[in-house]
Amino acid sequence: MTILSNDKTLIISKKPDQAVVRIKALIESVPAYQRLTQNIDIQGIHSLDKLLSLLPVVTKSDLIKFEKSVYSVPASKIMLFSETSGTTGKPLSTPRGSDEFSWNMFNQANAYRHHVQPGLDRVAILHPSVMSPFVEVSARALQEIGVGYVRVFPIPKLCEYERLFRIFEDYDITTIMSTPTLIYKIFFEFKKRFGGKLPRALNKLLLTGEYITSHNLRNLDSILGRGPSAARAFVYGSSEAASVMYGTPDATYYGYLNDFVFEIMPIESAWVEQFDRPEGAVTGELYVTWLRDGIMPMLRYNTMDIFTVWKNAVEQEWNFRAEGRFHDELITPWFRSVVDTVIYSFGFPIYHFNVDVYDTCIKIVLIVDISTDSKLCSQKIIEDLQVLGMDVDLTINPKDHDFYDFSPIAKSSSFNRK
C-alpha cells in the first residue's frame, strides 16, 4: 500500500497498520528514540503517515552522537562488531546481533537467487572485508542457497593480480560481486597483464556499494564481452541500514517491503524536471525505517541518497532508480546523469573517470582502452557536454594517476567540487 501525505511525501508500506505497531515498539526499545519522542503522544496515533510526520529524521551524525543509547539491547548481545567504511566521514559502529544477521542474510539470499544458481555458478566476493557486516552476511547468504564462493582482494606480495587471475581460472568463477570501482580496477589489471584476456568462465557481474546507472552497466558489459545484461545491480543498502532493496539488470531496484517502510521526501527543484521520468514518478531523498528486530534499528533514517520512484504498470510493483546524492547547486543528480550518459555513450571501454567541477568549467580525466581513438572521442565528448553551459577540459589516459596504483580503493566518488 502507498500513502501520499499532506506534504506530498510518498510512503511505501506493505501493511501500514502493522507498521504503526512495530514502529511504536521500536521507539520503546531504544533509549535514544525515547528521548527524541518524549514530547509526542505516539500511543494516541494510529495512522502511519501521521506518526511518521511527527517523528524526527535521524542522520548518520545522529547515530554517531547517540553511541550505545541507540541500541535496543545490551551491547553484550552483539554477535558481529562492524562499522561503516568512513569514506564520507567518521566511521559509524554498526553492530549486528543474531536477529538482523538472520533476516539480512535471508534478503541477500533472495537477491542472489535472481542472478546465480547452485551447481552452475561460483561467486567471487571482491571486497577488502575490513569491519564489513555486508561481506559477512553475503558469504552466509551464498551458503544458504548452496552456491560456492571465494573471498578475494588484491594485496601486495600476498594476493597479487596474477594470483587473482589464477584463482578465477582454476576455480571456474562465473560471477563477481563487488563495487564498480573494484571491478573496473581488476579488469584493467587483468587485460594489461594477460594480453587483453579475462577469466574464461566469468559471465556475470553483481554491483553494489556505489551509484550505479544503466550506462555504467552496459559499459561493463562491453568490457566483459559476454553479451547484454551480464552486469546487474545487486543490492542497495549500507552498513547501518542493511540491504534494503534488490537490483535488476537495468539498474533499478525493488524494496524489501516486509522489512522496511520507505519514504521519498520530494525535491522541488528545476533539475528534477529535467530528468527523463515515467509518468507519476516522484524524485526525492530516501528515508527508511526498520520493521524487524536488531541491535541498532533505524528510525526514519535519512540515507542521503536520492531516488526516482514509480509504480510498474505491468507488475504493479514499485521501482526505485538511484540518482546519487545532491552535493550542491552545480553537481546535481541531473548534472551527473548528463556527464555519465555522454561519457558512456561511445561504445569504447572506460575503466575510470573523474570530474573536477569548478564554477565555470569542468576537468575530466578518462582512462580507457589504449586502442581508442582518443582525439575523435575528445571532440565528441566536449561537443555533447556543451548542454551543461560550461567549458570542458578533457584528458585521456594521463601518464600518472592514482588509478594506476597497485592497491585499489573499494569505492570512489567520480565528481569533486573545486
Give tens-digit pLDDT for 112-171: 999 999 999 999 999 987 888 999 999 999 999 999 999 999 999 999 999 999 999 999
The alpha-helical segments, DSSP class H, found in 200-310 are: 214-224, 270-273
Residues 121 and 183 in one domain: yes
- Report how far apart, in Å, the C-alpha atoms of 17 and of each of 24, 45, 210, 257, 348 are: 11, 11, 34, 14, 51
Place of cell 552476511: 137
Residues 343 and 400 in one domain: yes
CA distance 131 to 53: 35
Residue 79 maps to which CATH number?
A: 3.40.50.12780
Residue 120 maps to which CATH number?
A: 3.40.50.980
Residues 137 and 69 in one domain: no
Residues 208 and 122 in one domain: yes
Please report the pLDDT score of residue 373 as a whole number. 66
Residues 157 and 216 in one domain: yes
Residues 171 and 136 in one domain: yes
How many CB atoms within 10 Å of residue 4? Answer: 12
How many domains is the chain built from? 3
Kindly tell me the sign of the dihedral angle through the C-alpha atoms of 366, 414, 168, 158.
Answer: positive
Q: Are strands 415-417 and 350-357 parallel, antiparallel or unpaired?
A: parallel
Please report the pLDDT score of residue 135 as a whole number. 92
Residue type, 239: S
C-beta of residue 355 within 8 angstroms of C-beta of residue 338? no
| 216 falls within a domain | yes
| 111 falls within a domain | yes
Residues 411 and 292 in one domain: no
| 327 falls within a domain | no
Please report the pLDDT score of residue 85 as a whole number. 77
How many CB atoms within 10 Å of residue 187? Answer: 19
Can you give the length of the chain in residues?
Answer: 418
Q: Is 18 helix (H, G, I), strand (E, B) or coil?
A: helix
CA distance 205 to 138: 15
| 247 falls within a domain | no
CA distance 219 to 183: 12
Domain stops at, among 172, 207, 236: 236
Strand order across the 242-247 sheet: 2-4, 10-12, 260-266, 282-290, 301-311, 318-322, 252-255, 242-247, 235-238
Residues 3-25 pLDDT 10s? 666 668 999 999 999 999 999 99
Selection from 114, 111, 113, 116 nearest residue 203 by Cα: 116
As given in the structure block, the three cell numbers for residue 149 are: 564462493
Residues 121 and 227 in one domain: yes
Domain that holds residue 185: 100-236
Please report the pLDDT score of residue 287 as a whole number. 98
Residues 133 and 209 in one domain: yes
pLDDT below 70 — which residues of the chain? 1-7, 87-88, 347, 371-374
- Report how far apart, in Å, the C-alpha atoms of 26 and of each of 42, 69, 257 are: 12, 13, 17
Domain stops at, among 265, 294, 322: 322
Selection from 147, 115, 120 nearest residue 139 by Cα: 147
Residue 274 backbone dihedrals phi, psi, to 5 degrees: -80, -15
| 180 falls within a domain | yes
Residues 116 and 220 in one domain: yes
Residues 116 and 203 in one domain: yes
Residue 362 backbone dihedrals phi, psi, to 5 degrees: -125, 140
Selection from 367, 124, 104 nearest residue 258 by Cα: 104
How much is the mean pLDDT over the chain?
92
Residues 341 and 405 in one domain: yes
